Amino acid sequence: MANAASMREEAETIAVKALGFVATDPELLPRFLAITGIEAQSIRRAAGEPGFLAGVLQFILAHEATLLRFAEETGTPPAAVGKALRALPLGDDDHERSI
């Protein structure tokens, strides 16, 4: 159980880094907002919603060049992004409970 909580915490850390990466990029941010339908001023509120952080990682993973740039700029191994996605609610399989 502690391992699952630790994995989720690590996944959330990677997702928050990814959100920061997207939010500070003048090309990625408008694309992310357009795809998600979220307004820039609503990101903070949306970040608390189940599945939002998984969506950020899905956005990063959807474009290999973006994934590789994120990995390089943050020192995050590309494989860790996919692993983080699977550890988050709505990242792939059922996460029956919220932590």
Are the CB atoms for 51 and 90 separated by under 8 Å? yes
User: Does the pLDDT at position 34 exceed 80?
Assistant: yes
| Confidence label for 92 from pLDDT (cuts 50, 70 and 90) | low
> Taking Cα atoms as reference points, which of 29, 89, 94, 98 lies closest to residue 59?
29
Read off the pLDDT of each residue in 9-23 and give the average, rounded to a whole number: 95
**Residue range 12-32: average pLDDT?**
96
Percent of the chain exceeding pLDDT 70 equals 90
For the chain, the farthest-separated pair of C-alpha atoms sits apart, in whole angstroms, at: 40
Q: What is the mean pLDDT of the chain?
A: 88
Give the gyration radius of the chain's Cα atoms. Answer: 13
- 98 pLDDT higher than 50: no
Q: Enumerate the domain spans of the chain.
A: 2-87
Q: What is the pTM of this model?
A: 0.86
